[in-house]
Amino acid sequence: MKTHRLWDIFCTVIDNHGDLGVCWRLTRQLLAQGQSVRLWVDDASALVWMAPDAPALPNLQVLPWSDASQSEVLASLQAADVWIEAFGCNLPETFIAHGVATRQHQPAWINLEYLSAEDWVPRMHKMPSPVMSGPAKGWTKTFFYPGFTEDTGGLLRESDLLERQQRFDRAAWRQKHAPDLAPDGLLISLFCYEPAALPQLLTQLVGTPHHLLVTPGRPLAAVQQALASMPVHPHWSALPYTNQNGFDEMLWACDLNFVRGEDSLVRALWAGQPFIWHIYPQDDNAHHDKLEAFLEWMQAPQSLRRAHRVWNGIEVGEWPSLNAETLQIWIQNIQTKRHQLSGQTDLVTQLIKFMG
């Protein structure tokens, strides 16, 4: 039997589809393993569509970040066994000071970091980080790094994921969302920021039987802007906001997925369909090395590497043709890596095991 624990997960929203998306998947999977969770978030608005069932879930509280600085609120709450700082966010000092003052022993304090395939990740995984100042001076945090190899923290993966995929009616989903899709047409999903090669992709799709499904928010705005200067448009339609299971189903149903950030990258890997990753851009271009490390781990064929570099604006050139031969090479690559990943221990299992 797993030991029941109460987990405090802290999330600051930079991109609510990404940071909150990862934290919500982590929360869901901890709950499924019989754990209790308090999710502290500074902007929970996206949970309205991302997790409409959240208010009814047992063993879960979603709390405003500001409450963690309210002494009277903290005094009314049970002490958690685990503190998780997601993506390097810093816990409010009032919260830390309350924990120090009311505990005999520190909780397990985890800094859950960003996902990367870079070669330094295994070295940093589970590394202790002494707290050198502030109320918790003398306590210790632990770095926990998700990753793609056995010597990292692994990836978020539900225990019933394979079963859900096997039950999924792909044909019915495609008929509902793209009823006019030609038998020889590709169904393509678009979840992105503002990719450099988007106009090239849209131009290439003109006159083809392919259909582009565009997710709401920044992807839709980017497509609308690009189409404004195009005299002829490809087949496309806009999708509504959906919960995380609905997003997964879109990835399973499509022949090619464009994804962005961290959460949807992992979901695209589990979907097992060809995908292009729009990595979160950083001002110092550190994301270039991060993308190259991922492509190297993928052992991606040259056509897939080039597609990623052009899509992310790292390389100037023509967007590769989406022909059957290219897509077959891409799907063989992703299926190989998906099989490899499925044999590794998932992130939540590793976290629970780490607690002892």
Cα–Cα distance measured from residue 213 to residue 240, given in angstroms and rounded to the nearest whole number: 10
In 3D space, the residue among 203, 248, 185 whose CA is nearest the CA of residue 50 turns out to be: 248
19 is catalytic: yes
Q: Which two tokens stand for residue 269?
A: 């890997």
Q: Which residues pair with 142 in a beta bridge?
A: 110, 128
Contact 38, 32 (CB under 8 A): no
| Nearby residues of 70 by Cβ (< 8 Å), 6 or more positions away | 94
Contact 25, 262 (CB under 8 A): no
E strand or H helix at 194: none
| Nearby residues of 192 by Cβ (< 8 Å), 6 or more positions away | 198, 218, 219, 222, 258, 259, 260, 278
In 3D space, the residue among 123, 127, 156, 119 whose CA is nearest the CA of residue 143 turns out to be: 127
318 is catalytic: no
Cα–Cα distance measured from residue 295 to residue 254, given in angstroms and rounded to the nearest whole number: 21
Q: Which of 248, 262, 263, 346 is catalytic?
A: 262
Q: Which of 8, 19, 67, 249 is catalytic?
A: 19
Q: Which residues pair with 259 in a beta bridge?
A: 277
Active site residues: 19, 262
